[in-house]
Amino acid sequence: MEKKELLYEGKAKRVFATDKPDVLLVSYKDDATAFNGLKKGTISGKGAINNRVTNFMMSLLEKEGVPTHFIEELSDRETLVKKVSIVPLEVIIRNISAGSFAKRYGVEEGIVFAQPTIEFSYKNDDLGDPLINSYHALALGLATAEEIETIKSLAFKVNTFLKGFFKKLNIDLVDFKLEFGRLSDGTIVLADEISPDTCRFWDCDTHEKLDKDRFRRDLGGVEDAYQEIMKRILGE
């Protein structure tokens, strides 16, 4: 597969065309941002870790019956994925209170929910990714009612699997963000990434944060946390 022109550069990844119209090449960067790009930095080694962790998780999820955009890992930082049109919704599942949930509702972090929650943000940097409900998403034509139902059910299925997977690694999966895309035939598939950038991981015993909150909140030990997650997942 030949790497062709740069199609899009995001905050954490670059997307290139290939010689196949329905295949894209994603290249992960070490760049890190937070608060809609207001805070900028570099997390050394992050690109390779997020690439390898994402691909490992996507492969496991495929086996669980969750369709994904993943095709093939080419190198430490580069992966071939199916071309999708991204549904402009960030899908957030929470098992434990943290982050914007704790802030919005004025509760402490660490409340374990009896059942997971789901929420959507409208993927729009100019607006700061505002919270949106499914009726608003329908009104804005961001997705159809059927697509929203598919996305919800896949997102909860991903949560059930990931929660159990991480528990065995002594990690509590606090919350995470997913993105979905449409293949050319309209099939909804899981896209984007599953990594310490997009999930909150707490050590079950020490409750130490092993994710991007170390960068967002200037807690130090950012690189070590990413390495630790890769070590627990991939054994290296």
* Beta carbon nearer to ligand TMP, 77 or 212: 212
Q: Give me the half-sphere count of Cα atoms (radius 13 Å) on the Cβ side of residue 159.
A: 22
Q: Which is nearer to ligand TMP, 113 or 145 (CB)?
A: 113
Q: What is the DSSP letter of 89?
A: E
**Nearest-CB residue for ligand TMP:** 99
Nearest approach, Cβ of residue 20 and ligand TMP (Å) = 29
CB of 152 to ligand TMP, least distance (A): 16
Residue 148 vs 194, nearer CB to ligand TMP: 194
Question: Which backbone phi and psi does 157 adopt, to 5 degrees?
Answer: -65, -45
SS3 50: helix
d(CA 96, CA 30): 28
Interface residues with ligand TMP (CB under 6 A) are 92, 98-101, 175-177, 198-200
Distance CA 59, CA 210 (A): 22
**Secondary structure class of 91 (helix, strand, coil):** strand
Q: Within 13 Å and on the Cβ side, how many CA atoms surround 160?
A: 9
Q: How far is the CB of 201 from ligand TMP (least distance, A)?
A: 9
Nearer to ligand TMP, 20 or 123 (CB): 123
Nearest distance in Å: CB 101, ligand TMP: 6
Which residue, 213, 210, 219, 159, is CA-closest to 49?
Answer: 210
**Nearer Cβ to ligand TMP (73/109):** 109
Distance of closest approach, residue 125 Cβ to ligand TMP, in angstroms? 10
